[in-house]
Amino acid sequence: MQDAARELAENVAVAFERARAMPPSVYTSEDFLARELNSIFAKDWFCVGRADALANPGDFTTLELAGQPIIVLRDNAGTLKAMSNVCRHRMSTLLEGRGNARSIVCPYHAWTYNLDGTLRGAPAMTRNAGFCKSDYRLPEVRCQEWLGWVFVTLSADAPDVADQLAKVAELIADYDMANYSQTFFETHNWNTNWKVLAENFMESYHLPVCHSGTIGGLSKLDEMICPPGEDAFNYHTILKDESLRIAMAHPSNTRMKGDRRRTTYLLAIYPSLMITLTPGYFWYLTLHPDGVDHVRIGFGGGMSNDYSHDDDAQANFEQLKRLLDDVNVEDKGCTEKVYKGLSSNGAAPGHLSHLERPNYDFAQYINARIQTPDA
């Protein structure tokens, strides 16, 4: 067994009450990253973002999942579909970024595909006797929608998202997560390992200090609840107070009672969808490694539709976005410092706080995945 995997196996064999942070090698080892790509990102469901960002026929987004270029789009029948983003001619990639397309035109020789992946036309191919247009179509990739989220997987065997995440749906049923609209989505790339950013999200221990310039003052360590995690996710909750009105349940929201109306869920859905869900707004990160030392970040968010009829709805969105941008700058600073520190010779993992229970569960998940026999 390679060193990083062995060190992680030893690290997670300790009970939570005595546990330490993961060893530096799991963040810096190229071999370990290769195992993560093969055993995690090529096997589990990966979140692409929100379905309402792909509302109209032809709306598409592209991604690279464990090295595989993928298109996710809404076809003319209104169905969300994922397919290979690799041309069936001489294998160029097809679409880039996000946008709307009536058809998929290869940028190399203009073979053109319909939104269902079938080949519509190919210039100057009539003289090759072997070529038959109907033999060609972009291979499909599994794609599922759950509570407004879009997931894809390269695996034929991964259990359906709704089954894997049934307990999440139950926990937050009164938030009605499908009833939130995305108002922004951006991509970023930070100089840290993807797990450092994922773990940063999983604990609110850092809020009072790292976020002292923004939400730190709203977050009290003794109001954080960090239950043991489940197979497919972990979570913790914090309470916010009235000073951040848009985090509260809207007055018209009669679904939520008592402290639920000011409870924020921090959901970490493995491997890399991190959702902050308040009764008023949500934001999320979807993370993919970009080498050991960089992380590709999809960053989106928006408001509960309960807020959408207010006169100040637009002002609320703007306030939310400003706040989240400021919070993000703080997280970028903290997670890049962690990566720098853990890459140094003197780095050694210390003990975890009881507020870092989700981090412990995440380490168990990573370990279980990368120790599988075909890893």
Residues within the interface to Fe ion (CB under 5 A): 331
Q: Beta 98-100 vs 59-65: how paired, if at all?
A: antiparallel
Nearer to Fe ion, 162 or 334 (CB): 334
CA distance 283 to 136: 39
Of 89 and 120, nearer to ligand FES (C-beta) is 89
109 contributes a contact to ligand FES by CB under 6 A: yes
H or E, element range at 374: none
Residue 331 binding partner per list Fe ion, ligand FES, none, with a CB distance cut-off of 5 to 8 Å that depends on partner kind: Fe ion
Kindly state whether residue 147 participates in binding ligand FES, applying the rule CB under 6 A: no
Output 132 or 315, the one with its CB closest to ligand FES: 132
124 binds ligand FES (CB under 6 A): no
Question: Starting from the edge strand earliest in sequence, which strands make up the sheet with 263-269, in order?
Answer: 180-190, 295-304, 281-289, 273-277, 263-269, 233-239
Judged by CB, which is closer to Fe ion: 293, or 331? 331
Residue keyed to tokens 């509570």: 147
How many chain residues interact with ligand FES (CB under 6 A)? 9
Backbone angles phi, psi at 188, to 5 degrees: -135, 165
Query: Which one among 45, 60, 111, 149 touches ligand FES, defined by CB under 6 A?
Result: 111
List 2, 28, 68, 92, residue binding ligand FES (CB under 6 A): 92
**What are residue 284's DSSP bridge partners?**
275, 300
CB of 66 to ligand FES, least distance (A): 22
Judged by beta carbon distances under 5 to 8 A according to partner kind, the member of ligand FES, Fe ion, none in contact with residue 108 is ligand FES
Q: Is 213 exposed, middle or buried (0-12, 13-18, 19+ CB in 10 A)?
A: exposed
Return the number of the residue (8 or 138) whose C-beta is nearest ligand FES: 138
As measured in angstroms, the least distance from the Cβ of 307 to ligand FES is 45
Phi-psi region of 109 (alpha: psi -120 to 50; beta: other; left: phi over 0): alpha
Contact 16, 360 (CB under 8 A): yes
Nearer to ligand FES, 51 or 106 (CB): 106
Q: Among Fe ion, ligand FES, none, what binds residue 59 when CB lies within 5 to 8 Å by partner kind?
A: none
Choose from Fe ion, ligand FES, none: what does 98 bind? Cβ within 5-8 Å by kind: none
DSSP of 124-171: T-TT-TT--GGG-BPPEEEEEEETTEEEEES-SSSPPHHHHTHHHHHH
State yes or no: residue 108 binds ligand FES (CB under 6 A).
yes
* Cβ proximity of 120 and 76 under 8 Å: no
Q: What angle do CA 358, 4, 299 make, to 5 degrees?
A: 45
Q: What are the b/e assignments for 277-293, b being 16+ CB within 10 Å?
A: bbbbbbbbbbbbbbebb
Cβ proximity to ligand FES, 111 vs 146, nearer residue: 111
Site for ligand FES in 61-90 (CB under 6 A): 87, 89-90
**Region of 21-29, 102-110, 257-265, 278-286 interacting with ligand FES (CB under 6 A):** 102-110
Residues in contact with ligand FES by CB under 6 A are 87, 89-90, 92, 106, 108-111
